[in-house]
Each structure stands twice: as structure tokens, then as C-alpha cells.
Amino acid sequence: MRTIDVTRMAVANTFRSKLRTTLTVLALFVGAFTLTITTALGAGVSNYIETQVNAFAADDVLLVQAQTDLTLEAESEGPAEWDPETSTSSNSQAGGAPLAGAQAEPLTDDDLDVIRGIDGIDGIDPVRAVSTDWVSHGSSGRFEFSVNPQSAVTVADLEAGEQLDQGASRFEIVLPNDYLDALGFDTATDAVGAEVEIGMTDITGETHELVAEVVGVSRSSLFASGAGANNALVTELASLRTAGIDGADENSTVAIAYLESGLTATEIDQVTADLGDAGFSAQTIEDQLGIVTTVIAGITGVLNAFAIVALIAAAFGIVNTLLMSVQERTREIGLMKAMGMSSGRIFALFSLEAVTIGVIGSLIGVGAAVLVGSGLGSALAAGPLADLEGLSLFLFEPLSLLGVVVLISAIAFASGALPASRAARQRPIESLRYE
Amino acid sequence: MPTDDPRSTSTASRTPAPPAVLEAISLSKHYGSGPSRFDALSDVSVRIAAGECVAIVGKSGSGKSTLMHLLALLDEPSQGEVRIHGTDARSLSGRALNRLRNREFGFVFQQFFLNAQQSVLDNVTLPLTIAGQRRRARRDRALDVLGSLGLADKAAAKAVTLSGGQKQRTVIARALAGSPSVIFADEPTGNLDSATGAIVEDMLFALHRDQGITLVIVTHDDDLAARCDRQIVLRDGRIVSDSASPALEEVAR
């Protein structure tokens, strides 16, 4: 029997018992739909984060902070007793460092010297606390404004203009694009080159105003909140803030260590280990973002596990459907065998029937998932998630769609194997007996 | 129906020493073992020549269906051997056996075994599909056969819509489609009224007469058996008479 005829016959047989096939297909549909949606969700979010990370930082930078001593907190259930030897008032965070751990000891000058002395580290800058109050442009009025103190190590996801020039002596900022309307710019390009006023209050309560040039306009990003400022501006803002009072700047908990150029991954690991021995924890920016990625991968994994459970249930549905089919067609199988159809072809016939059910179920499921996902994705992007630019919540990759179809067809084939081999083993004479 | 099959000429040269299409040598078939052992067939030898028309007669449980199944290679004997055109069936591979059944044998069953939801044409082309013929060729052949049996206008109808007689004619068309040398018919008229049964009988005998197809008919209908050239009577798994060898018949008496 020719393969094309086996296929044709299998497809025709699939539709012979329409209700039964429909119900089995429905079970597969649920699995395929869930699997496609969750995979696309995982891919969409991971892709977004990856783009953000790639846009984010140079590779040769470590974020260093003092290691927090967790054992103290673990020993007692309530709040730890204050001890002048070990306790410090470290609650004040360096202005808006979004990536730093919650409560770390401030880094002292001695600490910085130790870090500077470690092999492989080229230099270290404490992340200085900066605080700004408002920004305005011409007669626009004043708007609340904050500067990201880590903008020295980040690369903004630009909508227009250029990156900050860290070496420049003039004050430069990269303006988040949600300020455009407020500050009276029509487009991002209009804002580039414009000068804006920045207002701030120092720790003595005195106010200061600065003028900075907008060199670029950034898209909103998950990780880099606030405007970017170049070194010159950050340094100026930091020194204005301390108002010339010595030691007011010392409670910076995070420092940026610059690695010597050309270090390999192993060498970077060694530097991290050395820092660990010296009592500091160091992470590359990718490390920190990796935690986010891992969490997302975990969530996607759990959702996918539900889809797989649905598919396993569907697999039993296929087994059941085909067993009934084999039972019902005992005579037919016997007749075909009597007419010289080989057991292999009988097996192929029933397996292909299972695969047909699998392909139909997965195609409908994947198709529906793409439709629903795309609709939902654009609805969310226009509504609640409008702030996360560049995020397509559901990313449907052709290869993973194909993967879902192939996976489900394979599951269907595997489920069809038992009924199909039962059919193949039938002896014509048993099937044709009618007394 | 025209055919270029050399087998069909064998009727003409039957007289000298007709070649045996099927030969059973001391066939036994038993089911189970120990005290529950049941002997369906004991030491049966039959030789069926090309172009013969043989009726296997006996009561229900006499082993006549078992004998037919063994001759048609649908089942394996417990002892003894079956030769097809002089070849021991045991020496054939599974693949060769399938091929042989597909090419040489046609089957007509009392219960029809048609696919009710498929068209008459699809039912008739089944053996040709199994044989691996192309769609066009098998369609032409099936329409030919249906035409010769007066069913050309029913080709597109679903099998379920046919009357009993039409169903059995479809079954005959299916058996005939692959141009077999032997047609096995198990109670071919058992499910038909006598008028329709007579038409189906005429059709089978015409095939035998005109195309030289060997007929092996299993029946308990004495009238049908009487129309065959030769009657083999079975009782309790043994041959009690064979009209081709009168000596045996006398022994039985």
C-alpha cells in the first residue's frame, strides 16, 4: 500500500466519528493553546529584558557593596538588638540605586582602598547620592525630576540624540521621553540640544539651580529609572548636595568598580571571589538582571508544566479514542489483513490517525493562541503596560510555534502507538469470525 | 470481462493433469490443550485443481470454515502443510504471504464486511489500494468490474444505502477487482433471500465458467453445493466424503 493512500485513509478515518474526534481535538487544543501562550509570554518578557540588559551596561563594570551579615538576623526572631559595635544606621540609601540590595553597610574610604587594591580592578567610584527636585524648560513650569546615579555605567535605550559623554565638562542629561510633552517639546528630536533648568535642595535646605543640555531622549526602561546625567553633572549635583560639609557623602552603599579591560569570564569570577574574601559582594549588571530572568523563566516553567499536564490528559484521550476506534473496526482490520495489508501498514494507519488528531488539535490551538495573544498583547500595550515601551508581551517565534505542533504531534503519535500495535497484532481470522 | 491473465487459459487445458492451485496435506488444527483441547480439523488432505468449483459442506462446527481459513492462509495449521501452486506456505515470508493473498485470492463473506460509510467504489478499490496501485488505475479497474456486475450506477453511493443483494454484488466486485485466481466464498448467500441468492450464485458460477476462476464455496446449503463440480463433506473435523474420490465416500458409508 502506498504511503499517500495510508495517509489519505488515516485522515478520512479521523473524521469518521466526528464527535469523538472533536472531543479529543478539544483536549489537545487546550494543551496547545496554553503551551503556545505561556511560551510566547516567556519569550516576550525574556526578550524585552534581554534588550534592556543589552541596552544597559558595559561589561567591564562590577557593582560592589559590603556583604550583609545575615547570620545576625537569622538568630533572633524579632528585631535585632542594637549594638554599638556592629549596628550602623545604614537605612539611608544612595539616591535611587534601583539595582542595589536593600540594606547594605555604607562603604568607607578604607573599603574603597581595599577594593582598589584587588587585582583586576582598575578604579572604583562610589555611587554618589544625588537628589534633584524639579526640571523645567523655558516657561513650561517645574516638574518633579530625579537623576539615576548609576547612569554613568548604563547605556540608555535612546529614542533620539546621543549617549552621554562621560568625559565632557559641560552638564549633559538624557531625558526620559515621558517629559517631552510636559516640557513643551513636540518630538524627541526637538528636545535634543535644548537646555533645561534643574532645581535641587542641599542638605542644609538651600536651593540651587543648574542648566544642562539634553543630549538624548530615552525610552522608558524597566531598570534605568530617572534621567541620565554625565559625570560632570553627577559630581556637581553631589557636591552641591553635601553643601561643603565633610562626611555627609560617606553613606554611599554601592560603588562601581571598573575592571581592567580584556578580562576573561574566569578572571572576572576570580575578581568577584577576591572581593568576596575581602568582605564585599560584587555582581556584574548581567548577574543582577539574571535574577529577574531566572524568576521569569521559573514562572514560565510553572505555566508550561500546567500545559504539559493538560497534554498528558489529552494523550489519554487519544489512547481512549483510538482504542475504541480499533475495537469498532476489528472487522475492517481483519478484512484488510486478509486482503494482504501488512501489520506495519495497519500500525501506520492507526498511528497516522493519532498524528492527524494531534496536528489538527495543535494547529487550532496554536492558531487561537496567536490570535488571542496578539489581541491581548496589543490591548495591554495600549493600556496598562503602555509605560513599558518596546515590550511585546507575547512573542510568537515561528520556530517555537512549530516546536509546539511537533511536540504535540509526537505526543499524539506516542499515544497512538498502543492502540495501533493492538490493531497491527490482530489476526485476520479472529477479526472475521462472526458465529 | 477481458483479461490478459495467463491463468484464465488453464480451463482449456484441464483434462490431462490439472495443476493444483491449492493442496492441503494432512492438515490438523486444534485449539487449547489438555482436557480442554478441541480438534477443529484432523488429518485433512485436499487437492484443488486450477479452475475447479468446490463446495465444502458440513454442519456448523464441522470444521468447514477452519478448512477454508487454512486454505486461504488466514490461519496456520497445527500440523500439516498447505501448498499454493506447489509452494509450501510455511516457506513464505510474511510479506510474500500478504502479497500472495492480495494477488491470488478474493474473499466473499456472508456478513459482507463492507465499510458502511464509504462509497461502493472505495470499498471495491480496497484490495487494489492495498496492492499499491495508483488511484487512476484502481478507479478504472473498479468501475470496470462494477459495470460487469451491473452496479456501475451505484459506484458513488454509500455502501450503507445498498440492498442486501447489491451489497453482496459489491463484495463480489471487491473480490474480483484484483483479478484473483481463487475466490473463497463463506456462505455467500446465507444472508440473502432465495431470489437474490440465486442471482449472486449465478454471478459466482459465471465467473468460474467464463474466467476460469477457481471457486471454493463453504456452505451448508445443499442446493448451492449441488451446483458445484465437487462436494467435500466434513463432519467433526474429518472429511467424510469427497465427490472427486468416490472410494472415500464408500468408506464413510
pLDDT at A241 over 70: yes
pLDDT, tens digit (0-9, with 9 covering 90-100), for A285-322: 667 667 777 887 888 888 888 888 888 888 888 888 88
Tell me how far apart the alpha carbons of residues A428 and B130 are, in angstroms, rounded to a whole number.
15
Q: How many CA atoms lie within 13 A of B190 on its CB side?
A: 16
Give the gap in angstroms from C-alpha B242 to the nearest C-alpha of chain A: 26
pLDDT of residue B70: 92
Residue B241: strand pairing partners: B233
pLDDT of residue B174: 94
Cell 465427490 sits on residue = B243
pLDDT, tens digit (0-9, with 9 covering 90-100), for A85-124: 555 444 433 344 444 444 556 777 777 788 878 877 877 7
Amino acid identity, position A220: S
pLDDT of residue A56: 57
Alpha helices in B40-132 (DSSP H): 64-71, 94-104, 120-131
Q: CB B164: neighbour CB atoms within 10 A?
A: 15
Domains of chain B: 21-252 (3.40.50.300)
Give the gap in angstroms from C-alpha A14 to the nearest C-alpha of chain B: 13
pLDDT at A18 over 60: yes
CA of A234: how far to CAs of A131, A164, A183, A276, in Å?
A: 10, 12, 22, 29
pLDDT, tens digit (0-9, with 9 covering 90-100), for A167-187: 788 888 888 888 888 888 888
**What average pLDDT does chain B have?**
86
3-state secondary structure of A356: helix
Q: Which of A295-309, A385-399, A405-419, B16-30 has the highest mean pLDDT?
A: A405-419
Distance of CA B97 to the CA centre of its chain: 16
Residue with the larger pLDDT of the pair A435 and A235: A235
B69 close contact with A: CB closer than 8 A = yes
3-state secondary structure of A237: helix
B101 close contact with A: CB closer than 8 A = yes
3-state secondary structure of A380: helix
For residue B230, give the H/E element and its range: strand B230-235
3-state secondary structure of A261: coil
CA of B181: how far to CAs of B94, B225, B227, in Å?
A: 20, 20, 20
Chains A, B: CB contacts within 8 A come to 61
pLDDT of residue A420: 93
Could you tell me the pLDDT band of residue A79, with boundaries at 50, 70 and 90?
A: low
Give the gap in angstroms from C-alpha B15 to the nearest C-alpha of chain A: 31
Cβ–Cβ below 8 Å for B127 and A340: yes
Q: What is the mean pLDDT of residues A75-87?
A: 59
**Residue A283 in contact with residue A61, Cβ under 8 Å?**
no
A181 close contact with B: CB closer than 8 A = no
pLDDT of residue B28: 93
DSSP result, B114-152: --TTSBHHHHHHHHHHHHT--HHHHHHHHHHHHHHTT-G
Tell me how far apart the alpha carbons of residues B208 and B196 are, in angstroms, rounded to a whole number.
19
Which of A1, A335, A427 comes nearest B132 by C-beta? A1
Residues of A in contact with B111 (CB under 8 A): 331, 434
Tell me how far apart the alpha carbons of residues A6 and A23 are, in angstroms, rounded to a whole number.
24
Give the gap in angstroms from C-alpha B118 to the nearest C-alpha of chain A: 10
Tell me how far apart the alpha carbons of residues B220 and A12 are, in angstroms, rounded to a whole number.
38
Global ipTM? 0.84
Residues of A in contact with B104 (CB under 8 A): none
Which chain B residue has its CA at the smallest distance from A337's CA? B98
Could you tell me the pLDDT band of residue A222, with boundaries at 50, 70 and 90?
A: low
Dihedral, A412, A417, A422, A427 alpha carbons, nearest 10: 110
Residues of B in contact with A334 (CB under 8 A): 113
- Ranges of residues in chain B with a pLDDT under 70 are 1-18, 245-253
pLDDT of residue A237: 83
B110 close contact with A: CB closer than 8 A = yes
Tell me how far apart the alpha carbons of residues A307 and A37 are, in angstroms, rounded to a whole number.
10
Tell me how far apart the alpha carbons of residues B211 and B205 are, in angstroms, rounded to a whole number.
10
Please list, in sequence order, all residues whose beta carbon lies within 8 angstroms of the beta carbon of residue A82, skipping any fewer than 6 positions away: none
Q: What is the mean pLDDT of residues A45-52?
A: 77
Rg from Cα positions in chain A: 32
Work out the widest C-alpha separation in chain B, in whole angstroms: 56
Least confident span in A58-62, A92-96, A398-402, B143-147: A92-96
Tell me how far apart the alpha carbons of residues A288 and A273 are, in angstroms, rounded to a whole number.
16
DSSP result, B192-225: S-HHHHHHHHHHHHHHHHHH--EEEEEES-HHHH
Which chain B residue has its CA at the smallest distance from A341's CA? B130
Give the gap in angstroms from C-alpha A434 to the nearest C-alpha of chain B: 8
* Residue A76 grid cell: 533572633
Least confident span in A189-203, A407-421, B72-86: A189-203
Least confident span in A10-19, A132-141, A152-161: A152-161
Least confident span in A81-85, A428-432, B5-9: B5-9
pLDDT at A69 over 80: no
Q: How many CA atoms lie within 13 A of B74 on its CB side?
A: 25
Residues of A in contact with B99 (CB under 8 A): 340
Residues of B in contact with A345 (CB under 8 A): 130
* Residue A178 grid cell: 515621558
Residue with the larger pLDDT of the pair A218 and B158: B158
Please list, in sequence order, all residues whose beta carbon lies within 8 angstroms of the beta carbon of residue A49, skipping any fewer than 6 positions away: A222, A289, A292, A293, A296
Ranges of each domain in chain A = 3-54+291-432, 61-284
CA of A220: how far to CAs of A178, A301, A434, B170, in Å?
A: 8, 28, 76, 75
Q: What is the mean pLDDT of residues A63-73?
A: 61
CA of A350: how far to CAs of A22, A327, A431, B41, in Å?
A: 17, 12, 16, 35
Give the gap in angstroms from C-alpha B253 to the nearest C-alpha of chain A: 30
What percent of chain A lies above the pLDDT cut of 70?
82
Cβ–Cβ below 8 Å for A1 and B130: yes
Tell me how far apart the alpha carbons of residues B228 and A410 are, in angstroms, rounded to a whole number.
55
Which chain B residue has its CA at the smallest distance from A2's CA? B132
